[in-house]
């Protein structure tokens, strides 16, 4: 079968071969495009002058774009690439012009969409998933093209990368499902106890007191969860606005340790601190948010420390980016959860919170700041936690253009290092 669009090119690069085809394609399509016909003589001249640039222009497009030809519906092997721009050649690893369509695309939905465009003269769309280490989701659109007399049928296939949209939709759906589940559990418990109190516990003062105590804990749990959810959404809303205040990290740590003193006392946990003088560790920070960061880290440290143990909090007033972002290195595993953009000359205030609790296996470290992520098998008696504390920490530090490192080892404990840019007052 003769092929009016076939390349007579010798052994050139695939890009050049496609470009030659595209140049001819520009001429073919130019003839069929209505704009050319309706434009005045000036318009026609201007468009013709740009035709040689069509291939280069198409290669600059970020979305894969492919021109496909077909002869008859029954002849699947005759569906061939006539042109593929750079993005398409990279994505589909098209080795040569005129390759059969099925050498690069095997997804039946996409092939069907192309057939509809080619032979039914109707636009058609399909989802196209490219499986790999990380699946990528594309939206394929096949559009019929005007067909020159006696030539094969033509369709334009474009692919739009929807991976990020899908991922964020998924995250949102997971988040809603998790939040509802977390709220439903204490709610179910409350409902159950209300029934019991109305029923057989009505005349039993001892049981009533016990149940009311449990109901109080469950109600507190719901309140904590709602507080954390509200915090997280507030922080996300302001994440793109840099903080404008200054916070003396030493006074922040002292305030947090004072506030958590009673909790530590109930567990006989003692604090050890290594702090510079007030004024030597001033951060460019929203004080309220930084209090929340330190509070969440110290509260976790207390929670995962055995009764009678100790928690160490250290503040360092002035470190360069590389030093602030380097783990101490004395624990078996480390992971940098958040790293600020490297800006030369930037100085940081660093806070380290170290506990000697059960530690966290290295596999879990990258996932700790995911919403509702919890390390399986950890027993926490006092406060079940919301699974949102570290997510809040990460978002606040991100807003501050700061960083977060976790180091840990099973049986030897955990250290979180949070660092935020130094404030002006301290530099003065």
| Stretch 119-178 residues interacting with ligand ADP (CB under 6 A) | none
Rule CB under 6 A: say whether 390 interacts with ligand ADP.
Answer: yes
Identified binder of ligand ADP from the candidate list 69, 85, 289, 386, rule CB under 6 A: 386
Question: Cα–Cα distances in Å, from 282 out to 271, 274, 350?
Answer: 22, 16, 10
**Binding flag, residue 301, ligand ADP (CB under 6 A):** yes
Tokens of 400: 């501050």
Stretch that binds ligand ADP, among 207-215, 285-293, 325-333, 357-365 (CB under 6 A): 357-365
Nearer residue to ligand ADP within complex by CB, 300 or 321: 300
Closer of 61 and 230 to ligand ADP (Cβ): 230
Tokens encoding 269: 């946990």
Q: How far is the CB of 304 from ligand ADP (least distance, A)?
A: 4
Give the shortest CB-273-to-ligand ADP separation in angstroms: 17
Distance of CA 336 to the CA centre of its chain: 16
Distance CA 9, CA 390 (A): 60
Return the SS3 of 370: coil
In angstroms, rounded to a whole number, what is the distance separating the alpha carbons of residues 271 and 261? 9
Q: Which is nearer to ligand ADP, 260 or 368 (CB)?
A: 368
191 lies in the binding site for ligand ADP (CB under 6 A)? no
Residue number with CB closer to ligand ADP (85 or 300): 300
Number of residues that bind ligand ADP (CB under 6 A): 21
DSSP 3-state of 327: coil
Phi-psi region of 277 (alpha: psi -120 to 50; beta: other; left: phi over 0): beta
What residues numbered 302-331 form the site for ligand ADP, per CB under 6 A?
A: 304
- Which residues have a Cβ under 8 Å from the Cβ of 383 and sit 6 or more positions away? 224, 303
Which of residues 97 and 402 has its CB atom nearest to ligand ADP in the complex?
Answer: 402
Q: Which of residues 37-56 bind ligand ADP (CB under 6 A)?
A: none
Residue 396: what are its φ and ψ, rounded to 5°? Answer: -65, -45
Q: Does 407 bind ligand ADP (CB under 6 A)?
A: no
Please state the closest distance from residue 397 (CB atom) to ligand ADP, in A: 13
Q: CB of 138 within 8 A of CB of 157? A: no
Question: Which residue, among 296, 270, 315, has the nearest Cα to 393 in the 3D structure?
Answer: 296
The total number of residues written for the chain in this structure: 428
CB of 32 to ligand ADP, least distance (A): 59
> Closest distance between ligand ADP and the C-beta of residue 370, in Å?
8
Q: How far is the CB of 317 from ligand ADP (least distance, A)?
A: 24
- Which candidate, 422, 420, 427, 425, places its Cα nearest to that of 290? 420
Residue 15 burial class via C-beta count within 10 angstroms: exposed 0-12, middle 13-18, buried 19 and up:
middle
Residues 366-385 within binding reach of ligand ADP (CB under 6 A): 368, 373-375, 378, 385
Instruction: Tell me which residues touch ligand ADP (CB under 6 A).
Output: 296, 300-301, 304, 355, 357-358, 360, 368, 373-375, 378, 385-391, 414
């Amino acid at each position: 079968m003769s092929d009016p669009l076939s390349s007579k090119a010798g052994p050139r690069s695939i890009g050049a071969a496609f470009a030659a085809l595209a140049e001819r394609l520009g001429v073919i399509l130019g003839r069929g495009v209505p704009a050319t016909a309706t434009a005045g003589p000036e318009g026609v001249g201007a468009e013709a002058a740009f035709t040689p640039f069509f291939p280069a222009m198409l290669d600059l497009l970020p979305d894969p774009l492919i021109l496909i030809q077909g002869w008859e519906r029954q002849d699947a092997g005759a569906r061939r690439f006539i042109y593929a721009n750079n993005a398409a050649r990279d994505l589909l690893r098209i080795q040569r012009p005129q390759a059969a369509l099925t050498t690069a695309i095997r997804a039946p939905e996409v092939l069907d969409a192309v057939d509809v465009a080619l032979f039914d003269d109707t636009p058609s769309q399909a989802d196209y998933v490219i499986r790999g280490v990380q699946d990528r989701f594309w939206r394929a659109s096949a559009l019929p093209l005007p067909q020159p007399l006696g030539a094969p049928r033509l369709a334009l296939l474009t692919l739009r990368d929807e991976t990020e949209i899908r991922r964020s939709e998924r995250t949102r759906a997971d988040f809603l499902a998790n939040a509802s589940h977390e709220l439903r559990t204490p709610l179910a418990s409350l409902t159950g106890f209300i029934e019991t109190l109305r029923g057989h516990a009505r005349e039993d003062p001892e049981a009533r007191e016990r149940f009311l105590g449990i109901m109080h804990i469950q109600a507190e749990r719901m309140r904590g969860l709602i507080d954390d959810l509200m915090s997280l959404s507030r922080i996300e809303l302001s994440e793109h606005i840099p903080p404008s205040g200054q916070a003396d990290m030493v006074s922040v740590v002292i305030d947090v340790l004072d506030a958590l003193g009673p909790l530590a006392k109930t567990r006989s946990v003692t604090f050890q601190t290594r702090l510079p003088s007030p004024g030597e560790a001033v951060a460019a920070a929203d004080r309220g948010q930084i209090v929340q960061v330190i509070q969440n880290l110290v509260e976790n440290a207390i929670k995962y420390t055995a009764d009678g143990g100790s928690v160490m909090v250290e503040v360092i007033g002035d470190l360069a980016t590389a030093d602030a972002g380097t783990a101490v290195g004395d624990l078996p595993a480390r992971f940098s959860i958040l790293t600020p953009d490297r800006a030369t000359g930037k100085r940081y205030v660093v806070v380290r919170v170290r506990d000697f609790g059960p530690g966290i296996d290295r596999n879990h470290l990258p996932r700790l700041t995911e919403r509702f992520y919890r390390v399986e098998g950890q027993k926490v008696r006092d406060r079940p936690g919301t699974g949102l504390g570290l997510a809040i920490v990460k978002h606040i530090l991100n807003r501050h253009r700061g960083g977060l490192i976790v180091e840990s080892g099973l049986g030897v404990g955990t250290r979180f290092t949070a660092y935020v840019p130094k404030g002006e007052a301290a530099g003065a």
